[in-house]
């Protein structure tokens, strides 16, 4: 069974004092994948905080992904690891975490997207479609990259960059079906409520697109 089947809303969050409570709220609102990404913590603290996050996620059947470090993902018993273009190679990450854990890979260009097809990963992220402080200095790829990724990747694609209830309909029209959210939830005063709004916007946009396709195929002579 595909552990990513039906999952549409992927939260990427740094550590925070209220980590367990924050994750509980986001998951209650519709988040169904979580990545812990914190560049400031040392290895021991990453493991400790990943275990806190894993407990909150596991209770609801939500996969926990650890950023960058396949070795620490294994030690913390996370459900997978996500690597970037400048991190450990995806093939090495796969050898470390084994066949049963998830491995994700960031892509930011058509060349990286094409190269990812031969990598032993379960999903890719595509973007950021717009410039974001989360990735300082990296230009936006544009919404067209989401459509390109969906056509070429051959696996689950999570689109990143400026994901909010106001932007998802345009991204769905461009071809996106799964989304990574960062600042919209990590900066929220009401993460459960805002996660619910975002998930509803995603589900509504996808269902509307499906209905339009069904209608067109029905009336086409």
175 CA to centre of own chain: 16
Number of independent structural domains in the chain: 1
In a domain, 75, yes or no: yes
Please name the residue that has the structure tokens 């273009």.
85
In a domain, 85, yes or no: yes
Here the CATH number for the domain that contains residue 127 is 3.20.20.70
In a domain, 3, yes or no: no
In a domain, 138, yes or no: yes
Q: Distance (Å, rounded) from C-alpha 218 to C-alpha 221?
A: 8
In a domain, 153, yes or no: yes
Question: Furthest-apart CA pair in the chain: how many Å?
Answer: 63
Dump pLDDT digits (tens) for 190-214.
999 999 999 999 999 999 987 765 5
Q: Which domain range does residue 204 map to?
A: 9-219
Dump pLDDT digits (tens) for 122-156.
999 998 987 776 666 677 788 888 888 888 888 99
Mean of all residue pLDDT scores within the chain: 92
| DSSP string computed for 60-118 | TT--EEEES-HHHHHHTT-SEEEE-TTSS-HHHHHHHH-SSSEEEEEE-SHHHHHHHTT
In a domain, 2, yes or no: no
């Amino acid at each position: 069974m595909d552990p990513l089947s039906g999952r549409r809303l992927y939260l990427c969050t740094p550590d925070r004092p209220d980590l367990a409570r924050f994750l509980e709220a986001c998951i209650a609102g519709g988040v169904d994948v979580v990545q812990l990404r914190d560049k400031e913590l040392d290895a021991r603290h990453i493991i400790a905080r990943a275990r806190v996050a894993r407990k909150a996620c596991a209770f609801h059947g939500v996969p926990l992904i650890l950023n960058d470090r396949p070795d620490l993902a294994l030690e913390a018993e996370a459900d997978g690891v996500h690597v970037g273009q400048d991190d450990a190679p995806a093939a090495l990450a796969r050898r470390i975490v084994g066949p049963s854990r998830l491995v994700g890979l960031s892509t930011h260009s058509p060349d990286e997207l094409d190269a990812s097809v031969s990598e032993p990963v379960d999903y890719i992220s595509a973007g950021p479609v717009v410039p974001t402080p989360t990735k300082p200095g990296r230009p936006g790829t544009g919404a067209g990259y989401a459509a390109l990724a969906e056509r070429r990747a051959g696996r689950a694609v999570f689109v990143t960059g400026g994901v909010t209830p106001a932007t998802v309909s345009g991204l769905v029209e461009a071809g996106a079906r799964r989304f990574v959210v960062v600042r919209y939830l990590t900066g929220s005063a009401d993460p459960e409520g805002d996660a619910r709004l975002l998930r509803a916007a995603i589900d509504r946009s996808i269902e509307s697109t499906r209905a339009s396709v069904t209608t067109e195929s029905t009336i086409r002579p």
